[in-house]
Structure 1
Amino acid sequence: MSFLLSLSRLIDWINERVGRGVLWLVLIAVVISAGNALVRKLFNTSSNALLEIQWYLFAAIFMLAAGYTFLRNEHVRIDVVTSHLSPRGQNIVDIIGILFFLMPMVGLVLWLSWSPFMLSFKSGEMSANAGGLIRWPVKLLLPAGMALLFLQAISELIKRIAFLAGHIPNPLDKRKGPSAEEELAASIKAQKQGEAK
């Protein structure tokens, strides 16, 4: 079990780092969106590349943060039934959900999304819009996001089993501490203070 828990910690570390990186993509997407809207209103011009990079960033935010969201136990849940169960019962329901629903669905989407990415990559597919961007990077986001989510599903499965075996505290307990938005604000503040010195 100690090897599996070490593997779980490694997966958690990977998704934690990816999630923290994705927080910055939110800020970049907002700045690009605001700048593009401002240029469009003031100068009556726009760029297809800027519009498409916004879509790419939004896709990256949602796809790459799926594993991070699962790690943080912030994904959508329907607690009508499970809220009445004991912690042990809740973890058993999660194990069933991970094994029979999440992992097969994520595995299928990962498998189905790989061929379109490879076709786009090999052909050097470009946007049909004038001045648009190359397409394969955005098509890579789906299998990459699914791979991160699948890894996190393995980690969460290990943690649920370890809890049932009495090795760790309940992984379903919400983390206490700053929210993702508060972490981003603190990171920006720390960076500004570092630049001021």
Structure 2
Amino acid sequence: MRALSGVNRVVGNVFAWLALAIVLVCFTVVVQRYAFSTTQVWMQDLYVWLNGAMFTAVAGFALLRDDHVRVDIFYRPATLRTKALIDMIGVVIFIVPYCWVIYSYGMPYVQRSWRLYEASPNVGGMPGFFVLKSFILLFGLLILLQGIAMIARSVLILGGREDLVPENLRYGHGKE
């Protein structure tokens, strides 16, 4: 549980810094366009690609921090055991099948892109679009890893061993 959540914590903290890069690149593109009447297509690709990479890479981190969308009208006031049960059922019914769909449909898509060394569809755009498409699979993997960590936490809580759940992974403590 610690290791799986730790992976998402590290990836999330690293890739969150892409937000700064996105702002800087986007600002540069705007200044080039409006102040100098010029633009670089590859830079326009860059901030869109950075955005895609960031949001797919930090999805597991958002799940770890409980920053995802949920109907809190039932979940928030629930007991610890009920939350654990809801999380376990949610992972098994929704997250695991969703990750399987991402993998089964995404893998051929990403493999094809790598075979072709796919580049930007924009003339003058960036090479290496296949790398960005690989983030689709990374997204599914990180979500699945966090789902497995959630199941482990739920098993401990339902088994009456919430004392074994690390402090930073307890309900309401995932936020930094």
TM-score, L = length of structure 2: 0.90
Q: Is 1:63 matched up with 2:61?
A: no
> Is the CA contact (8 Å cut-off) linking 2:107 and 2:137 kept in structure 1?
yes
Structure 1 residues 40, 133: closer, same or farther in 2, change over 3 A?
same
1:195 aligned residue: none
Matches of 2:175 and 2:48, distance apart in 1: 31
Equivalent residue letter for 2:172: K
Q: Which runs of 5+ in 2 are unaligned?
A: none
Say which of 147, 155, 164 aligns to 1:153.
147
Q: Which aligned pairs between 1:148-187 and structure 2 lie closer than 5 A?
A: 148-169=142-163, 171=169, 173-175=171-173, 178=176
Report % sequence identity. Answer: 24
Q: Which runs of 5+ in 1 are unaligned?
A: 1-7, 179-197
Matches of 2:119 and 2:98, distance apart in 1: 29
2:2 aligned residue: 9
Matches of 1:121 and 1:29, distance apart in 2: 25
Matches of 1:167 and 1:129, distance apart in 2: 55
Q: Is 1:121 matched up with 2:114?
A: yes
Tell me the C-alpha RMSD between the 2 structures: 1.7
Q: Which runs of 4+ in 1 moved over 6 A?
A: none
* Post-superposition CA distance 1:80-136 (Å, at most 9, x none): 222343221121111111101111112211221111111011111222312112310
TM-score, L = length of structure 1: 0.81
3-state SS of the aligned residue for 2:17? helix
